[in-house]
A = this chain, B = another copy of it.
C-alpha cells in the first residue's frame, strides 16, 4: 500500500526491507549466504548513530514525518551528510520520501523496523 500525499519518490533500488519480511528468526536455522547478505545490508543501514537518531526523530515527529531542515540541527551534522544518511535509510526501505514544494518530508515505512526485529528475536 503505502500511498502518500505529495510526489512519492520512486527509489531506483528495490526496497530491501520488503524482500526480507517473511523470514524466521535467525536462531531457528542457519542462514544461507544470500539471506545473510540481505539481512546484513539492512543492519548496516541501521548501524550508525546519526541514522538511528534520524529514525527516532522522524518517528517522534508530528505525523511521523520530518523535513531535512528539521533534522540538520538536532543531529549536528552538515546538510549534505544528513541527506546522505536519509538516502541510505531510504534505499534500505526504512524511510520514504514525499516532496511538497521545496521541502522533502521523510517518514517511517510501517513495519520495516519490525521485520528486522522479528528476525533478530530468539523466541
Which of under 10, 10 to 19, 20 to 34, or 35 or more describes the interface residues of A? 35 or more
13 cross-chain CB contacts under 8 A = A26-B55, A27-B56, A30-B53, A31-B53, A33-B49, A36-B56, A39-B49, A40-B51, A43-B43, A108-B122, A110-B122, A113-B122, A117-B117
8 Å CB interface, A25-64 against B:
26-31, 33, 36-37, 39-40, 43-44, 46-53, 55-57, 59-60
For the complex, would chain A's binding face be called helix, strand, loop or mixed by DSSP majority?
helix
Looking at A28, A31, A52, the one whose CB has the most chain B CB atoms below 10 A away is A52
Residues of B within 8 A of A37 (CB): 49
Contact assessment for B29 and A52 in the assembled complex, using a CB-CB cutoff below 8 Å: no
B57 touches A47 (CB 8 A): no
Q: Is A74 an interface residue (CB 8 A)?
A: yes
Closest to A27 in B: B59
List CB contacts (< 8 Å) of A55-94 with chain B.
Answer: 55-57, 59-60, 74, 76
Q: Let me know if B118 and A60 touch, CB within 8 A.
A: no
**Distance from A27 Cβ to chain B, minimum over Cβ atoms (Å):** 4
